A and B are shown apart, each in its own frame.
Chain A
Amino acid sequence: MSARSRTLALVASLATGALVLTGCGGDGDSSEGSGTLTMYYPVAVGGPLTDVVDELIASCSEEHDIEVEAVYSGSYEDTMTKAQTAARSGQGPDLAVLLTTDLYTLIDNELIVPLSSVDDDLSWAEDRFYPAYLASGEAEGELWSLPFQRSTIVQYHNKEIFEAAGLDPESPPTTWDELVDQATTIQAEGAAEFGVEIPSTQFGNWMFQAMAIQTGVEDTAGVDGIVDYLDDPGSVEALEWWKSMVDDGIMPSGTTEWASTPEDFLQGRTGIMWHTTGNLTNVKSNADFEFGVSMLPANTQPGSPTGGGNLYVFDKGDEDTRADAYTIAKCLTEPELAAEWSMESGYVATGPEAWETDTMAEYAEEFPQAAVARDQLEVAVGETTSHENGRVSQAINDAIAAVLTGGTEPQDGLTQLQSSIDDILAPYQG
């Protein structure tokens, strides 16, 4: 090799090294100081909703002259992961829509700020939001987040299948016994492959909480981030009921996918499904049959947990940035915008003022299914919100799957589950 080509090779290799290094360096300087807010948001239900969110944000951004960079960040879980990892390297969002159940996890990791630190007077929130929704943003005597895309579980039924099975399409089940009876009839008459589907993956813990509430179990939402309702006799009864429906074959065997349940409903494979109201618009625009929406049936009492995501202001940047983030969050929950968001997505408009807007009132009259979730709020309970939310909800889902697939009996499974959750939460026990 000649000296010249050798020098060339050296220069080339050093240049590559330098390139690699600068590539790793990131753009720490360029992204800051421009005064732009970063906001993460997930889309957890069917339908092309990113455009709608982008529009809402753009209108708030214009109104308050605050630049917002809205980042669609996948599912709730993806968004939480991204927000957490980014925040650790100081590049996190200023504002994010995350599950209400992640509240304690966010507080424990010191990622968010209480809203009283940016606004002395939060009394407006009590007028704007339903108490059931507002409550899930509260912890340690502070309000931490604003309700944005909120839901409850509702019961969808396919009216054509009901007719084919000789049932009254206008009277969906209101009790557990009726549900089992009607589902059995649907299947026996061959009107659909399955009578009912209740998803048991991803948000199976949410469905289970609904059944526990309906059986009269107290404090299913957890107290100060500690969950201990799982080995309650009512919880055991709830899981036994769920399992009996799987064993009787009126529900699919094994676990039922969260994401494929609406698909099964739309394809007419099941007569009834329990799912989030967040899927209402998806079902409405894709069903080629008449469908009804009703409150969840009661065992000893009716009820459903609330669900969905709130707007969190992150502990990042200076006070001005946080104030800006709060302004945008507050703007996004204004009645007109909340109404629009509800109509486009199917999420429940978060407060009475939103339902009183002209467009929403008109919509509710035309499409009464939309109001069911609102009416159900009367009997709704906050969803289970725990320290170490990821691990706890995974543990609950695992236990449900173990029972539904025949691995363990409800009583044993739930006793074991509660003791493992006690272990996980031991460091947080006051």
Chain B
Amino acid sequence: MTAAIPSPSAAPPPEERRRRFSLRSRLGDQLFAWALLAPAFVVLIAFTHYPIIRSAWSSAHSRGGDLGVQQYQRLLEDPVFWQVLRNNLWFALGTVPTSMALAILMAVWVNNKLRGKAFVRLAYFTPTILPMVAVASIWLFFFSPGIGPIDQLLNAVGLPTKNWLGDPSTVLPALMVMMIWKQAGFFMIFYLAGLQNMSPELEEASTLEGASRWYHFRRVTFPLLMPTTLFIFVVAVTDAFKIIDHLFIMTGGGPNNASNLLLFYIYDTAFSFFDPNYAGALTMALVVILSLIAIIQFTVLERRVHYR
């Protein structure tokens, strides 16, 4: 870097030279850093920040174009909004803990020295490779009343069959099962990576001390996996709000909004009902919810995570 500094004609005293040098190079580094970040910022601003601001601006207008809080009043009084919000919370509650528990279980299982573990790992990971739309189509068939494999199976063992996706009491749980099936393998990969990073001495030490395997898992492995767990938790919770592809294929949010999720309702409002102002207000609600979750995750939970 010294090559870039032009030598002044009359050499100033050494301290001043050092000061000027550090100032200039610091300024240069700053500019350089910003220039490198610029493309990412452009994309981020164009596709994330600007749309959020636009949504906020649009949500502050009535349909006629007057400025006001009318859209937010509507939101508070809209029973469908509260229903999709409730659905979304249940959906997150139903999918996140289960798929994480399954993921860690599968990871510990395929991390063991068992025969054909490459095959088992692949089998667990396969649902993740499939696109959501394909998964939804497959499960639409699984759940289809009468001809689907699930009903066929129930029929064979003499249990009553059900119209899984056509009944408000079963539609959301049915979608949760599919989501867990799809997500658990994905999360397993992260846990597996975490486990493989763990030094074998820890286990040897536990064995020497006579700790049981469960005790070792509870007191050593699991705490050491906390950073992974936090990461997966963040991804899983945001996914529960973000992934709605399956609704287009499987239920369209029905019957009577029983499987409708917030993002799908936003899509409907904006593009089927052509009400961009109200869709803007709904979007702001989603942004607030996701930000709240992020804040809770990174302030409250972060403190309980041991990084090495």
- A: which residues have CB within 8 A of B? 1-3, 6, 9-10, 13-14, 16-17, 20-21, 24, 77, 80-81, 84-85, 105, 109, 193, 200-202, 252-257, 260, 264, 267, 269, 388, 390-391, 394, 397-399, 401-402, 404-405, 407, 427
Looking at the complex, which of B16-24, B35-43, B189-197, B289-297 is the stretch in contact with chain A?
A: B35-43
In the assembled complex, the Cα of A383 lies from the Cα of B224 at a distance in Å of: 64
Pick from B35, B163, B275: contact of A254, CB under 8 Å = B163
Tell whether A407 pairs with B46 under 8 Å between CB atoms, given A253-B163, A269-B146, A390-B273: no
**B11 an interface residue at 8 Å Cβ cutoff?**
no
The residues of A that contact B254 with a CB separation of less than 8 Å are 201, 255, 397-398, 401
A10 x B271 contact (CB < 8 A): no
Interface contact B144-A260, CB-CB below 8 Å: yes
Asked whether, in the complex, the Cβ of A405 is within 8 Å of the Cβ of B273, the reply is no
Q: Which residues of A contact B162 (CB under 8 A)?
A: 253
Is B82 part of the binding interface, using a Cβ–Cβ cutoff of 8 Å?
no
Asked if B257 lies at the interface with its beta carbon under 8 angstroms from chain A, I say yes
Q: A16 to chain B: which residues have CB within 8 Å?
A: 39
Q: How far is the CA of A252 from the CA of B272 in the complex (A)?
A: 28
Pair B167/A405 contact, Cβ less than 8 Å: yes
User: How many CB-defined contacts (below 8 Å) exist between A and B?
Assistant: 102
CA of A16 to CA of B43, assembled, Å: 10
Q: A252-B163, A254-B255, A267-B147 are in contact. Are A6 and B32 (CB under 8 A)?
A: yes
Which residues from B are CB-within-8-Å of A427?
Answer: 63
In Å, the complex CA distance between A16 and B168 comes to 49
CA of A9 to CA of B38, assembled, Å: 12
Closest 8 CB pairs of A and B: A254-B166, A401-B255, A17-B39, A254-B163, A401-B256, A254-B167, A255-B166, A402-B256
Closest CB-CB distance, A115 to chain B, in whole Å?
A: 23
* CB <8 Å contact, A405 and B166: yes
Chain A nearest CB, measured from B213 CB (Å): 46
Not counting A17-B42, A85-B271, A267-B147, a sample of 15 additional A-B residue pairs whose C-beta atoms are within 8 angstroms of each other reads: A2-B3, A17-B39, A105-B274, A201-B252, A202-B252, A252-B163, A252-B166, A390-B268, A391-B275, A394-B272, A398-B254, A398-B257, A401-B254, A402-B256, A404-B255
Determine how close the nearest CB of chain A comes to the CB of B136; give it in whole angstroms. 13
B4 interface neighbour in A3, A109, A264, Cβ under 8 Å: A3
Residue of B nearest to A9 (CB): B36
Residues 236-280 of chain B, each 1 if its beta carbon lies under 8 Å from chain A, else 0: 000000000000000010111110000000001001111100000
* Residue among B38, B254, B268 with the highest chain A CB neighbour number at 10 A: B254
Q: Name the A residues within 8 Å of B147 (CB-CB).
A: 264, 267, 269
Q: Do A13 and B35 touch across chains, with their CB atoms under 8 A apart? A: yes
Contact among B39, B146, B255 with A20 in the assembled complex (CB-CB below 8 Å)? B39
Q: How far is the CA of A411 from the CA of B75 in the complex (A)?
A: 27
Interface size on B, residues (CB 8 A): 34
Shortest Cβ distance from residue B64 to the other chain A in the assembled complex, whole angstroms: 9
Q: Residue-by-residue, is B44-67 near A (CB-CB < 8 Å gives 1, otherwise 0)?
A: 001000000000000000010000
Interface on B for A, CB 8 Å cutoff? 1, 3-4, 32, 35-36, 38-39, 42-43, 46, 63, 144-147, 162-163, 165-168, 252, 254-258, 268, 271-275
**A252 lies within 8 A of B145 (CB):** yes
Q: Is the interface of A mostly helix, strand, loop or mixed?
A: helix
Residue of A nearest to B163 (CB): A254
In the assembly, what is the distance between CA of A105 and CA of B273, in Å?
A: 9
14 CB contacts below 8 A, A to B, read A1-B1, A2-B3, A10-B36, A17-B42, A21-B42, A84-B274, A85-B271, A252-B146, A253-B167, A254-B167, A255-B166, A257-B166, A390-B268, A402-B255
B256 touches A20 (CB 8 A): no
Distance of A13 Cα from B41 Cα, bound (Å):
11
User: In whole Å, how far is B190's beta carbon from the nearest beta carbon of chain A?
Assistant: 29
Report the Cα distance A404→B4, complex, angstroms: 78
Among the interface residues A9, A14, A254, A405, which one has the most CB atoms of the partner chain B within 10 A?
A254
Q: How far is the CB of A26 from chain B (nearest CB, A)?
A: 13
Q: State which of A1, A81, A405 has its C-beta within 8 Å of the C-beta of B255.
A: A405
Identify the closest chain A residue to B46 (Cβ): A24
Assess the B4–A10 pair: CB atoms within 8 A.
no
**A233 → chain B, closest Cβ, in Å?**
23
Distance A130 CA – B101 CA, assembled complex (angstroms): 63
Chain A residues within an 8 Å CB radius of B42:
17, 20-21
Instruction: Give the complex CA separation of A387 and B257 in angstroms.
Output: 22
CB nearest neighbor in B for A403: B256
Which residues in B have their C-beta under 8 angstroms from that of A253?
162-163, 166-167
Residue of A nearest to B36 (CB): A13
A389 → chain B, closest Cβ, in Å? Answer: 9
Most buried by B among A200, A253, A267, A427: A253
Kindly state the separation between the CA atoms of A2 and B42 in the bound complex, as whole angstroms. 27
Cross-chain contact B256 with A398 (CB below 8 angstroms): yes
**B168:A13 contact, CB within 8 angstroms:** no
Supposing A17-B39, A24-B46 touch, asked if A193 and B146 sit within 8 A by C-beta, the answer is yes
Contact between A81 and B272, CB atoms less than 8 A apart? yes
| Chain A proximity of B11: nearest CB distance (Å) | 22
Report whether B273 and A391 are in contact in the complex, using a CB–CB cutoff of 8 Å: yes
Contact for A84 among B39, B252, B258, B271, CB less than 8 A: B271
- Is A264 a contact partner of B257 (Cβ separation < 8 A)? no
Chain B contacts of A402 at CB under 8 A?
255-256
Most chain B beta carbons < 10 A, residue from A81, A255, A256:
A255
Choose one: A3, A13, A201; the contact of B38 (CB below 8 Å). A13
Question: Are A264 and B255 in contact (CB-based, < 8 A)?
Answer: no
Residues in A whose Cβ lies below 8 Å from that of B258 = 405
Contact partners of B32 in chain A: CB under 8 A = 6, 10
Instruction: Check if A14 sits within 8 Å of B35, measured CB to CB.
Output: yes
Q: A254-B166, A255-B166, A401-B255 known; A13 and B39 CB under 8 Å?
A: yes
Closest-CB distance, B169 to chain A (whole angstroms): 8
What residues of chain B lie closer than 8 Å to A391, measured between beta carbons? 272-273, 275
B236 → A minimal CB distance (Å): 30
A residues in contact with B38, CB < 8 Å: 13-14, 17
How far does the Cβ of A8 sit from chain B's closest Cβ, in whole Å?
12
Instruction: Kindly state the separation between the CA atoms of A255 and B168 in the bound complex, as whole angstroms.
Output: 9
Tell me which residues across on chain A come within 8 A of B275, comparing CB atoms. Answer: 391
Contacts of B252 in A (CB 8 A): 201-202
Residues from chain B with a CB closer than 8 A to the CB of A1 are 1
Minimal Cβ-Cβ distance residue in A for B166 = A254
Are A256 and B146 neighbours in the complex by a CB distance under 8 Å? no
Q: Which of B46, B165, B256 has the most CB of A within 10 A?
A: B256
